Structure 1
Amino acid sequence: MLEISVIIPVYNAAEFLEKSVQSALQFKEVKEVILVEDKSTDNSLEICKRLADQNLKVLLFQHADKENHGAGASRNLGIEKSTGNFITFLDADDYYLPNRFDGEKEIFADSKVQGVFGAIGIEYLTEKGKQEFQSKFSDTSLTTVNYSAEGREVFKGLLGLTTKTFGTFFHLNALTIRRSAIEASNLKFNKTLRVHQDSDFIIKLAYHCYLKSGIIDQPVAIRGIHDDNRITKIVKYSHQYKQRQLLFWKSLYDWARDQKIPSEFKEKIYLRYKSFDLSQKTGAIKYYNIFIEALKNPNILKTQYRFNYQKSMK
């Protein structure tokens, strides 16, 4: 039987938190809902305490210094405190749907499967949030992948190395992982990343663990879109956007250098990292464009521009 620990990092989510927690408590498979309160400036902490007092399954934790450490560090603390044999995540302004674990019940009967992912939908909670979201992410009512996949195909798909277009990153809200898989890989969220730490974790997880798609044609969770969603505040291709992408791909690049993974994967990660690295430098637009082209054809760097990327990966 699935015994699931649901980990919810909490920061300034007072308006949405109770619905989020209740959506997780509806499942008999949920052993505990772990709230990691990250020094909110609203009354989220008070709501966390009330929810924990009302239900023994709801457990409340804070960082040792009671300071703000970000979602990555909060999820790491949640994993550390969890006791279920399966781990899931939920953002404090999102919620699970009744079919959240329908795919997992069957798929995890296969012992080789270490993680299952599905699709999530969106709900517009404010008009401003809707306008900001739609201006940046058109036609994305369902965050999912384009076809069923498992094993190495998932990792390759996330890096854009499959023969078919894999699709968007799947969301943490729709991911369920065996605790044993996380422990065996010693995988943690990069706490230095204030954004994209979820995508960073997912790509590394897909390499270390055997993942399989579950329900991908309908949502199993809902993402709330409102005025304060961080991802919609960043103008695409702006300096801030490129800086955050640089930090994200630098994290993967550092990880890839330490892993004995095939060179085609290392190469793709390095090229993505270097493209954003060069885009940050004054007068580097020409080279930025070169690297964007190199993502499509890595041989460009070996011939026309004589860039020894293999040396840099040693």
Structure 2
Amino acid sequence: MKISVITPVYNAEKYVVQAVESALQFEEVYEVILIEDKSPDNALQICLELAKKYDRVKIYQHPDKGNHGAGATRNLGLEKATGDIIAFLDADDYYLPNRFDAEKELFNNPDVEGVYGAIGVHYYSEKSKEQYYKLYGDRLTTVYKKHHPKDVFPGQIHMRGAFGQFSLDALTIRRESLKKMSTFFKTHLRLHQDTEFLLRLSYYLNLHTGTIDKAVAMRGIHEDNRITQVNSGKINPATTRVLLWRELNKWAENEETVPEEAKVHIKRMHRSFEIAVAPRFKKWGMITKYMITDYPSIRSGLFNINFRKGLF
């Protein structure tokens, strides 16, 4: 395996050295691609020093040297990658020594197009642990049991809570297989572009279960995490997720081979989030409409805490 590790870098001067060196511990890592996204801190200089120190580290910026967000930054990393295998690592996260143990065996099978595993949680300070332990605890982000590749997409769409989930840090994919997708990360999604990508990816590729009973990477939790701000309530999660499900709904409607039941479920999830964020005077009109024309959209929403909060 020749693995290209893609790392978007933004405001991560405190963490990027640990991330890079955690990837370089593996002989299979052919290159670590740092895409610096116009950080307001000293991350660019640190990335330049890492590239000078390690032959396998490469650094790029966007052509205009501007800030384009995580989606566009990962896309640029995919464009620059030359390895036959792709892995991702956020600049404030890091790999554990067992990161590619399952992949070494599974990728011997040419039918395996991707492998997913579990990630753990690392709190960078006592303050971040005090603030966010109730949200994350010491739990693994993982798929709860082994699944056949054909069951990964419907499991994530229909049974997300019972199925579990995996993150980019624990995903490894064949670069050649990505040709099945017409677009990679949606650049206009400032949040949840990774979730949207993973859901579509699991539809097109045969993703196999790797190490899911213990962490292969660690998610770094600190006060400046964007997703931490969403989950802590500083940003309305329903507002960001309505954009996610709207994008998935557009994709499902235009992808003829998506099963009809999946299309219907995605549309209903989109509608339930739209209701949750609608102005109060409009909200009850939408509820009345869907109670008559599409009651399952309301039923889908009632299982969603953000929908229930948004009713009042």
What TM-score do you get using the length of structure 2 for normalisation? 0.89
Residue segments in structure 1 that go unaligned for 5+ positions in a row:
298-314
Give the aligned partner of residue 144 of structure 1.
Answer: 142
Which runs of structure 2 are paired with 1:257-268 in the superposition (5 Å)? 257-260=253-256, 261-268=258-265
Residue segments in structure 2 that go unaligned for 5+ positions in a row:
304-312
- Equivalent pairs counted in the alignment come to 293
Asked if 1 retains the 8 angstrom alpha-carbon contact of 2:4 and 2:32, the reply is: yes
Q: What is the CA deviation profile of residues 36-58 of structure 1, one whole-angstrom value per residue up to 9, with x for unaligned ones? A: 00000100000000000111110
Give the aligned partner of residue 219 of structure 1.
Answer: 215
SS in 2 for 1:116: strand
Give the aligned partner of residue 154 of structure 1.
Answer: 152
Change (3 A) 1:292 1:23: farther
Give the aligned partner of residue 32 of structure 1.
Answer: 31
Structure 1 position 126, deviation (Å)? 1.5
Q: 2:281 matched to 1:275?
A: no
Structure 1 position 150, deviation (Å)? 2.8
Asked if 2 retains the 8 angstrom alpha-carbon contact of 1:239 and 1:280, the reply is: no
Structure 1 position 234, deviation (Å)? 2.4
User: Which of 160, 173, 180 is the equivalent residue of 1:177?
Assistant: 173
Asked if 2 retains the 8 angstrom alpha-carbon contact of 1:129 and 1:228, the reply is: no
Give the aligned partner of residue 305 of structure 1.
Answer: none
SS in 1 for 2:11: coil
Asked if 2 retains the 8 angstrom alpha-carbon contact of 1:132 and 1:233, the reply is: no
Structure 1 position 238, deviation (Å)? 8.0
Change (3 A) 1:294 1:22: closer
Amino acid at match of 2:47: C
Give the aligned partner of residue 193 of structure 1.
Answer: 189
SS in 2 for 1:68: coil
Amino acid at match of 1:275: S
Which protein has the bigger helix share? 2
Give the aligned partner of residue 17 of structure 1.
Answer: 16
Give the aligned partner of residue 224 of structure 2.
Answer: 228
Change (3 A) 1:203 1:18: same
What TM-score do you get using the length of structure 1 for normalisation? 0.88
Farther-moved stretch of structure 1 (282-291 vs 72-81): 282-291
Which runs of structure 2 are paired with 1:53-68 in the superposition (5 Å)? 53-68=52-67
Change (3 A) 1:232 1:238: closer
Q: Return the alpha-carbon distance in structure 2 between the equivalents of residues 173 and 277 of structure 1.
A: 30
Farther-moved stretch of structure 1 (75-84 vs 144-153): 144-153
Q: 2:86 matched to 1:87?
A: yes
Give the aligned partner of residue 119 of structure 2.
Answer: 120
SS in 2 for 1:91: coil
Asked if 2 retains the 8 angstrom alpha-carbon contact of 1:32 and 1:84, the reply is: yes
Q: What is the CA deviation profile of residues 84-133 of structure 1, one whole-angstrom value per residue up to 9, with x for unaligned ones? A: 00000000000001100000011111111100000001111122322332
Q: Return the alpha-carbon distance in structure 1 between the equivalents of residues 231 and 204 of structure 2.
A: 33
Change (3 A) 1:187 1:113: farther
Q: Spell out structure 1 runs of 4+ moving beyond 3 A.
A: 235-239, 294-297
Q: Return the alpha-carbon distance in structure 2 between the equivalents of residues 31 and 217 of structure 1.
A: 27
Q: Return the alpha-carbon distance in structure 1 between the equivalents of residues 234 and 126 of structure 2.
A: 24
